[in-house]
Each structure stands twice: as C-alpha cells, then as structure tokens.
Amino acid sequence: MSAPLLSLRGLSKSYGRIQANRAIDLDVAPRSIHAVLGENGAGKSTLMKLISGVEQPDAGMMAWKGEALALASPAEARRRGIAMVFQHFSLFETLTVVENLRLVMPGGRRELAERLIRLGREFGLEVDPFVHVHALSVGERQRVEILRCLMTDPELLILDEPTSVLPPQLVVALFETLRRLRDKGVSILFISHKLEEIRAICDRATILRDGAVTGTLEPRHHDAQALARLMIGREMPRPVPAAPREPGETRLELIGLDHRPEDPFAMPLHGIDLKVRAGEIVGIAGISGNGQNELAALVSGETVLPPEASDRIFMIGRPVGELGARDRRALGFAFMPEERLGRGAVPDMPLAANALLTAHAKGLVRRGLVDRAKARDFTAACIRDYDVRTPGVEAEAGALSGGNLQKFIIGREIMLAPKLLFVAQPTWGVDIGAAAAIRGRLVALRNEGVAILVVSEELEELFELCDVIHVLAGGRLSPPLQARDTSAEVIGRYMMGAEPAEAAA
C-alpha cells in the first residue's frame, strides 16, 4: 500500500469501566474506500469520534500524512481535512439549504449557492439551494449533509451508516458518488452493517469485535458468511421458519381511515384499510415520508381521532380511535416506535427505570409504589434474553450503543406478552447477528398466535417476516399482497404510486 493518509496505532478509549476501543491499529490508504464493521457496541462510532475530533483517545497515536495528529475538536479536524457525516442529521428544517450552510461557513448566499450547485453537479448530488429543508426527502437531506462536508474540501470523509436511511435506488446513487469522490482523490471511511454493500464498494475492511481489531481484509475476496464469522465470532443463526397456520381473529382493523394531520408538513392519509389477525405478520413497505409516521401515530394512539371517527380503528375487538396510547396498551397492545431515543427510551434514565415506562403493569408497580427488586429482575431478564451488551440494569439508556438500545426496547415490548405488537423498523442499526435474532423472535411470536404489524423500509426483511405486505405511498395503502405470491417488482411499482391494475401488469 502507498504511504497511508491516516494511521492509527494502539488507539484506546474507555468510558468508565467500558473499554470501547482497545489498542486499535488501522491504516487508511489515499484514494480508497475503507469499511469499518462490527457488531453493535463493537466500538465503531467511538473510533470515528476519535478520528473526527469529537472525543480524544486515552492512549495511542494518530498520524496524518506521516505526521503526528492530535485533534482537540471537530473544527480542528475539518481544518486538517477530515470531515464526518453523522448518522443523525443536524439540519434546521425551517431554514433553506443555503441558510443552513451559512450557519457553519463564511460566504454570501449567492456564492455558497453557486458552490453548492457546482459541487452537486460534479458528484451527482444535485439539490436546490433555496428550498426549505423540511420539504426535502431523507435522501436529499443526506445529500445536503455530504455537500456541506465537501465544501470544506476534505481529504478524508467519514460516513456513519450512510445507507441505513436510504431506499435501494438511492443507495446505488450514493455509491456512485462515493466512487467519484474516491477517483478525485478523497478517501472514505464507512461504517455499515450491510455486508453485501461493503463487498460492492469497499477496497478494504477492518473488522472490530469487543473494541479490538480482529482482521483487515479485502472484502471482495471474502463472502458475506466469512465476514459475519469474523464479526460475531460464530456462524450466523438460521432463520426461524413460519409455521403453517390459519390466521385467527382480527386484532387490529383500520376501516376507510382518512386523516389530515395538523402539521402542514405531515402527509395526509386517504382511505386506509388494514387488517392484522392473530398469528399473522403484516408488513408495510414503502419509503419513509409517505405517511409511515402518521399511520404509526394513529395506530399507537399518539394521535387520537375525533369522536365521529372513533370507529375507524378497532383494536382487540374495541373501537379505540378516541383512546390514547396508555389505554390501548391496557388492552394488550405493545409498540416500538421508529425514534428510539426520546420516544422509545429516556436517555438519561437507567435501564431499570426505562423498563418501567411501558412494563409498569407487569407487577412492577404495586399500589402506586415501584417494586424495585421486580423491576431489576425484569430488566436483567431483558438484558440477558435479548443479548443487550451493557454493564447492567443501572446503565443509562443513552450510554448504550444504538443497536443495543434497540435490542433492549424490542425485548421490553415483547416481554409484555402483547396480543398485538407494532414495530417500526425492527432492525435499524442492528448488526446482522442481532437482526436475525430479532426476526426470529417475531416469527416465534407469530407462531404462538400474536398479531404483528411491521413497518420497514427493507424489502428483504419484509419478505422474510411477513404473511401479508401492503405498500404505503403518498398517504395511500395498497391492497393486501400475499407475500409468497408477490414480488419486489410489484411492490416497487406500488411504491412509485401505481394503481392496482398497473402494479399487477
């Protein structure tokens, strides 16, 4: 390899007792795309934070073009030519694209807009600089984030799970951009859980397990199974087969539901008909922003219907349109929202307290008092059964890695033994081993007779899980499609807004 652009030697970082990075050695070559992969909590994000100046290492050294590198802040990293696109976007929705740029860089509106357009053309990332961010799709927002980094003229661009929020067509476009960047001389460090993507685009890959490097290799020369073994240290679990069974009684029904949200930027829903029965998994496919959040809020009870529309939603045999989330949960409904921190869990509360948020009815609270021993037992069982990697029940939710928090929340909801379970994006940000385990749990619950509704942007996941798939596009829901009789093409046509006759053609 030519002299590395970036070299790390013996880089270590601890948070209290947790050693998130242990003596990491890593070389990033100039003009290369380099993946970092590993299970949830393996230490990938921590490593990126050290390289981008967000955090400082406890030990070890970094070198940049052969010279020692110490970064006190992200601003200093940017000055040296290292820029990071974060997993969670940081744009102000009420400002235009160019106004967002002006917050972080010098230059007039016109000058910045021109540079943005020029760079956009060069790298296939076109966006209108004068449009408000709230009007942009997720893919367009990501383009703005990347362009904002490119405007600082980086030599190393770091992307933390850039494809987790993108539909397949946009992943292809993003990869094209990354290749162009590499060909222009920018190196890219890339975190991903998707092994096929890594094989498609990366020149090298470094694998982390438990904070330490377990291997660096050329991913093209290894199949996904081999990468998985290096990552998780064992073979992948096999999928749990769906037992043949007739669905039982209807546990969730939406009947001709129209809904116009108060938020002018939200998607109105039109004539939604949906049925989920006991012992069946129903999936909703589609790209987020097409009414997914609005539908989720109506099913969970975060949005309550006016009295005249109360009988548009039935849950476990009762009209629930007017009931809030707590009353719906009391009927045997459990729910995992798409937004884990804030809505799924409270970041600065310990896990045991987070368990109480939804599990209080499971005998954890008696006559208004928390039974602490029971709450700890419940939390400990969730940590054990769902393989949540954390020091224990007192750890704060916000200190868990993204994927581990996800495992905790889904575990907590399943442990409520719901009759009807609704999960949004069940395996977002979860590593492949844990994703297989979560899917296995959902299928096992279905086999036991639970009614399950899943919203997911990952079509493969829906095909693996579901008996029935609907597509949500532009606030309208397609008719139910039997998963075993339909194809990705038909679903793709519904996603583009086709009517049933055109989609089936």
User: Which residue, among 9, 32, 27, 1, has the nearest Cα to 155 in the 3D structure?
Assistant: 32
| Using rule CB under 6 A, residue 40 touches ligand ATP | yes
Contact stretch for ligand ATP (CB under 6 A) within 43-51, 109-117, 221-229, 280-288: 43-51
Q: Which of residues 406-465 bind ligand ATP (CB under 6 A)?
A: 429
Contacts with 58 (C-beta within 8 Å, 6 or more apart), sequence order: 12, 13, 14
Q: Which of residues 137-196 bind ligand ATP (CB under 6 A)?
A: none
| Using rule CB under 6 A, residue 15 touches ligand ATP | yes
At 353, which amino acid appears?
A
User: Which residue, among 61, 41, 39, 40, has the nearest Cα to 50 in the 3D structure?
Assistant: 61
Q: Which is nearer to ligand ATP, 89 or 463 (CB)?
A: 89
Contact stretch for ligand ATP (CB under 6 A) within 108-116, 171-179, 402-410, 449-457: 402-410
Q: Which is nearer to ligand ATP, 20 or 113 (CB)?
A: 20
Contact stretch for ligand ATP (CB under 6 A) within 36-44, 307-315, 331-339, 472-480: 36-44
Q: Which is nearer to ligand ATP, 400 or 483 (CB)?
A: 400
Dihedral angle over CA of 384, 388, 393, 398, nearest 10: -170
| Using rule CB under 6 A, residue 63 touches ligand ATP | no
Helix (H, G, I), strand (E, B) or coil at 319: strand
Count CB-CB contacts under 10 A for residue 308: 9
CB of 66 to ligand ATP, least distance (A): 27
Q: Which is nearer to ligand ATP, 151 or 224 (CB)?
A: 224
Helix (H, G, I), strand (E, B) or coil at 80: helix
Inter-CA distances, 6 with 73, 77, 130, 200, 493, Å? 17, 12, 36, 23, 44
| Using rule CB under 6 A, residue 399 touches ligand ATP | yes
Q: Which of residues 337-396 bind ligand ATP (CB under 6 A)?
A: 389
Choosing from 12, 18, 215, 266, the residue that interacts with ligand ATP (CB under 6 A) is 18
Choosing from 26, 33, 38, 166, the residue that interacts with ligand ATP (CB under 6 A) is 38
User: Which residue, among 416, 491, 482, has the nearest Cα to 456 in the 3D structure?
Assistant: 491
Q: Which is nearer to ligand ATP, 162 or 286 (CB)?
A: 162
CB of 400 to ligand ATP, least distance (A): 5
Contact stretch for ligand ATP (CB under 6 A) within 15-23, 244-252, 289-297, 307-315: 15-23
Per the structure block, which two tokens stand in for 40?
């949830």
Please report how the helices 168-183 and 109-123 are oriented relative to each other, as an axis angle in degrees rounded to 10. Answer: 100
Q: Which is nearer to ligand ATP, 96 or 404 (CB)?
A: 404
| Using rule CB under 6 A, residue 37 touches ligand ATP | no
Q: Render 8-70 in DSSP notation, one character per residue.
A: EEEEEEEETTEEEEEEEEEEE-TT-EEEEEESTTSSHHHHHHHHTTSS--SEEEEEETTEEE-
Choosing from 4, 43, 301, 433, the residue that interacts with ligand ATP (CB under 6 A) is 43
Q: How far is CA 9 from the centre of its chain?
A: 31
Spatial separation of the C-alpha atoms in residues 157 and 170, rounded to whole Å: 19
CB of 181 to ligand ATP, least distance (A): 23
CB of 211 to ligand ATP, least distance (A): 7
Choosing from 24, 42, 481, 483, the residue that interacts with ligand ATP (CB under 6 A) is 42
Q: Render 393-458 in DSSP notation, one character per residue.
A: TTSBGGGS-HHHHHHHHHHHHHHT--SEEEEESTTTT--HHHHHHHHHHHHHHHHTT-EEEEE-S-
Count the residues of the shown chain that bind ligand ATP, applying the rule CB under 6 A. 19
CB of 15 to ligand ATP, least distance (A): 3
Q: Give me the residues that bind ligand ATP (CB under 6 A), please.
A: 15, 18, 20, 38, 40-46, 389, 399-404, 429
